[in-house]
Amino acid sequence: MTKTIQAIRGMNDCSPTESPLWQWVESKVRNVLQSYGYSEVRMPIVESTPLFARAIGEVTDVVSKEMYTFWDNDEQLTLRPEGTAGCVRAAIEHGWIYNNEQRLWYMGPMFRHERPQKGRYRQFHQAGVEIFGIANPEIDAELILLTARLWKELGIEQHVSLQLNSIGSLEARKNYRSALVEFLQQHIDLLSDEEKERLEKNPLRILDSKNQALQEVLNGAPKLLDYLDEESRVHFAQLCTLLDQMGIAYEVNPKLVRGLDYYNKTVFEWVTNALGAQGTVCGGGRYDGLVEQLGGHATTGVGFAMGLERLVLLVQEVNHQIALPRAVDIYMVYSGEGTTLPAFQLAEKLRKNLPHLRIMTHCSGGNFKKQFKRADKVGANFALVIGETEAAAQQVVVKDLLAGTQQVLSLDNVVDYLQKAF
């Protein structure tokens, strides 16, 4: 036998039984984003490698070890590990943000070479939002309100909580960085080799170390919030006030810094305890310097991205109330000489007049018994049956598969009847 070929590790198929839940989650996401007036954008999956190196930062985990990069002749390309860099690239390239505010969203696959485990994959999906040209904290608050609304729509609001921090300006972070490094040098023996390396390159990342002993010590470390510049301090205070007034609960987490280099001022994460180690379902923040850093006119930015796999897992875990739509409402059964054409014609007529219904035509031959079995298997509510007698009389038998009743209708009356029945 020929050896079969399997999917790449960490890259999943979505089966016909899983796709209804995915579609349900995606449509909730789309509807909420659209209800805030945001516009969808679609960017390529492949971008030139230097875009990510410049935007995300050379010493971040993503750029230093998680990217899928390859040469295309003499150009180095990367499968996008996140959406912000590509969105900013497109916004600059097409002038979307030149003297203009934009509220944009996107949804699609991202790629990171990580160790696959529950909630962590090599191809995964994000829905993200990027807002350009709005500097004040009201928009930060709107993004948080929007995500909170989505959690309600998904029925997971009891199982996620909001962590909030401000990491201030570049200048403030530099000052803080020196203070943190000085503090950590007194506890250098607690640091792993990797953390020692981070101490040089990206010491703020040590704040979210998984090392318990180090975490205890870090509770006594200098706090970034105490180093904030005045503008960032006011921005953060205004954001917190508005969230309080709008009834959004949050925890200020002084250790929250996020993994990508481009953030400033507000950073936030929505976390859950229901998924084990992969607890962050959504993360975001401000990136006021990024557009300029990538060669555009200085424009403020703020955004977030959420991991759709983790949202789907969380919905599966905690929301057992979802009524997913049936794949098939009506199954068209026909057998005998001259029955194929009327069955096809009736199915097309129903699809035209009752577009919200899902109608499956049998197509694969066999006797009535086999066809009814099939109708049950796909979960149809009704079977419409055309045999030779019905074909000759321009009629159809309408069989209610749940109630077990049936009646004969003229072909002209079927649309009306089904309209009332559904």
The reply to whether 305 sits near ligand ATP by the rule CB under 6 A is: yes
DSSP assignment of 161-213 equals EEEEEE---HHHHHHHHHHHHHHHHTTGGGS-HHHHHHHHH-GGGGGG---HH
Contact positions with ligand ATP (CB under 6 A) in 24-83: 82
Tell the smallest beta-carbon distance from residue 112 to ligand ATP (Å). Answer: 5
The reply to whether 282 sits near ligand ATP by the rule CB under 6 A is: yes
Contact positions with ligand ATP (CB under 6 A) in 82-101: 82
| Of residues 309 and 390, the one with the C-beta less far from ligand ATP | 309
At 273, phi and psi to the nearest 5?
Answer: -95, -5
| Of residues 66 and 153, the one with the C-beta less far from ligand ATP | 66
Q: Which helix (H) or strand (E) holds 148?
A: helix 137-154
The reply to whether 114 sits near ligand ATP by the rule CB under 6 A is: yes
Bridge partners, residue 269, by sequence:
163, 283
Select from 192-200, 276-284, 360-368, 376-384 the region that touches ligand ATP (CB under 6 A).
Answer: 276-284
Sign for the CA dihedral angle at 229, 225, 144, 41 comes to positive
Tell the smallest beta-carbon distance from residue 308 to ligand ATP (Å). Answer: 8
The reply to whether 309 sits near ligand ATP by the rule CB under 6 A is: yes
| Of residues 191 and 281, the one with the C-beta less far from ligand ATP | 281
The reply to whether 121 sits near ligand ATP by the rule CB under 6 A is: yes
The reply to whether 112 sits near ligand ATP by the rule CB under 6 A is: yes
Say if strands 161-166 and 251-252 run parallel, antiparallel, or are unpaired: parallel
Tell the smallest beta-carbon distance from residue 144 to ligand ATP (Å). Answer: 15
| Of residues 24 and 68, the one with the C-beta less far from ligand ATP | 68
Length of the chain, in residues: 422
| Of residues 310 and 399, the one with the C-beta less far from ligand ATP | 310
Nearest-angstrom CA–CA distance, 278 and 171: 32
Q: Which residues of 300-316 are buried (b: 16+ CB within 10 A; e: fewer)?
A: bbbbbbbbbbbbbbbbe
Q: Is residue 272 within 8 Å of 281, Cβ to Cβ?
A: yes
Tokens 């557009």, located at residue = 291
Contact positions with ligand ATP (CB under 6 A) in 352-381: none
Residues that bind ligand ATP (CB under 6 A): 82, 112, 114, 119-121, 124, 126, 259, 278, 280-283, 305-307, 309-310
